[in-house]
């Protein structure tokens, strides 16, 4: 077990060209590996993205063993690190799955996650094209003794999702996002990512699309809510150290997890969409 690992977030502007998206991921992951990162996190919809969601997403959807994930596997194996990215995944229906994959240095998928809370807000209707994930036990993966878990974009507005990950032993939440720009949206992004780190005394590594669609501002926040690495509005990477002693010290000073008197339980969905 390591006392610390280096975690990177990478941001870029995914397009409808999956091969070009893989090339961008390869270039940014190579830069992260050169700085000794053990994990690099990329945005939601890294495999395929258009500004307006529509049938192109369904047509471009791939299985977990498709060409995009295999490409991530080659990158992870060559660079000897874990790669996390968003996949437009096929479901065999008229809608796709907004999925995250964590690919290990072996080239195999170490964990995957289907977005639970769809972005039917701020004038958007993600559920018109996306099937929500089933509520199930969190899939986690371990990197040098640290337990990491997956969460997607709009899920960050629902603190129960992060708390369920923490109850499963997660110490670092990785959060790929496509956080759409708009009034106060950047403020919400920073506030929510920071709040989830503080209230759970964990690290959060959040990766977004760059403008003009996303807000950028990918960041890594520590268990005290300190932004220890960040990127502005351009493609790039940021790398930060995740430390075992920081987790221990913060939880000693702020034992919020030990003092809480409530538990999270699944709720019945508001609808089938």
This prediction has a pTM of 0.96
Q: What per-residue confidence (pLDDT) applies to 189?
A: 98
SS (H, E, C) 157-200: HCHHHHHHHHHCCCCEEEEECCCECCCCHHHHHHHHHHHHHHHH
Q: What per-residue confidence (pLDDT) applies to 267?
A: 82
CB 90 within 8 A of CB 129: no
Going residue by residue through the chain, which has 273 residues, state the pLDDT in tens, using 9 for 90 and above. 789 999 999 999 999 999 999 999 999 999 999 999 999 999 999 999 999 999 999 999 999 999 999 999 999 999 999 999 999 999 999 999 999 999 999 999 999 999 999 999 999 999 999 999 999 999 999 999 999 999 999 999 999 999 999 999 999 999 999 999 999 999 999 999 999 999 999 999 999 999 999 999 999 999 999 999 999 999 999 999 999 999 999 999 999 999 999 999 888 766 544
Q: Which residue has the tokens 């047509």?
A: 59
Q: In whole angstroms, what is the distance from residue 93 CA to residue 171 CA?
A: 35
Q: What per-residue confidence (pLDDT) applies to 268?
A: 74
Q: In whole angstroms, what is the distance from residue 136 CA to residue 153 CA?
A: 18
- At the topology level of CATH, where does 4-259 sit? Nitrilase/N-carbamoyl-D-aminoacid amidohydrolase (3.60.110)
Q: What per-residue confidence (pLDDT) applies to 270?
A: 64
Token pair, residue 48, equals 């395929």
Q: What per-residue confidence (pLDDT) applies to 33?
A: 98
Q: What per-residue confidence (pLDDT) applies to 234?
A: 97
- Burial pattern 166-203, b for ≥16 Cβ within 10 A else e, equals beeebbbbbbbbbbbeeeeebebbbebbbbbbbbbbbb
Q: What per-residue confidence (pLDDT) applies to 273?
A: 43
Token pair, residue 244, equals 């075992």
- Which residues are catalytic, by number? 44, 115, 153
SS (H, E, C) the chain: CCCEEEEEEEECCCCCCHHHHHHHHHHHHHHHHHCCCCEEECCCCCCCCCCCCCHHHHHHCECCCCHHHHHHHHHHHHHCCEEEEEEEECCCCCCEEEEEEEECCCCCEEEEEECCCCCCCCCCCHHHCEECCCCCCCCEEEECCEEEEECCHHHHHCHHHHHHHHHCCCCEEEEECCCECCCCHHHHHHHHHHHHHHHHCCEEEEECCCCCCECCCCEEECCCCCEEEECCCCCEEEEEEEEHHHHHHHHHHCCHHHHCCCCCCCCCCCCCC
Domain boundaries, the chain: 4-259
Q: What per-residue confidence (pLDDT) applies to 193?
A: 98
Q: In whole angstroms, what is the distance from residue 210 CA to residue 234 CA?
A: 6
């Amino acid at each position: 077990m390591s006392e610390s690992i280096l975690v990177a977030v990478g941001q870029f502007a995914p397009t409808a060209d999956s091969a070009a998206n893989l090339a961008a991921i390869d270039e940014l992951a190579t830069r992260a590996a050169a700085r000794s990162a053990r994990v690099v996190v990329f945005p939601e919809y890294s495999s395929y993205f258009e500004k307006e969601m529509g049938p192109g997403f369904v047509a471009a959807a791939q299985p977990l063993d498709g060409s995009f994930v295999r490409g991530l596997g080659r990158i992870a194996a060559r660079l000897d690190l874990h790669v996390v990215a968003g996949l437009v995944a096929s479901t065999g229906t008229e809608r796709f799955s907004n999925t995250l994959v964590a690919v290990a240095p072996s080239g195999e998928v170490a964990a995957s996650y289907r977005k639970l809370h769809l972005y039917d807000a701020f004038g958007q209707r993600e559920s018109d094209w996306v099937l929500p994930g089933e509520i199930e036990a969190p899939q986690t993966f371990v990197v040098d003794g640290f337990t990491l878990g997956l969460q997607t974009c709009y899920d960050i507005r629902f603190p129960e999702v992060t708390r369920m990950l923490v109850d499963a032993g997660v110490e670092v939440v990785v959060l790929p996002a496509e956080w759409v720009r708009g009034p106060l949206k950047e403020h919400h992004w920073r506030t929510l990512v920071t709040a989830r780190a503080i209230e759970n005394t964990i690290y959060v590594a959040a990766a977004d699309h760059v403008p003009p669609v996303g807000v950028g501002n990918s960041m890594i926040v520590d268990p005290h809510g300190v932004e220890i690495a960040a990127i502005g509005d351009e493609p790039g990477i940021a790398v930060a150290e995740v430390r075992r002693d920081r987790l221990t010290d913060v939880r000693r000073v702020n034992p919020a997890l030990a003092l809480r008197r409530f538990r999270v339980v699944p709720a019945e969905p508001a609808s089938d969409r």
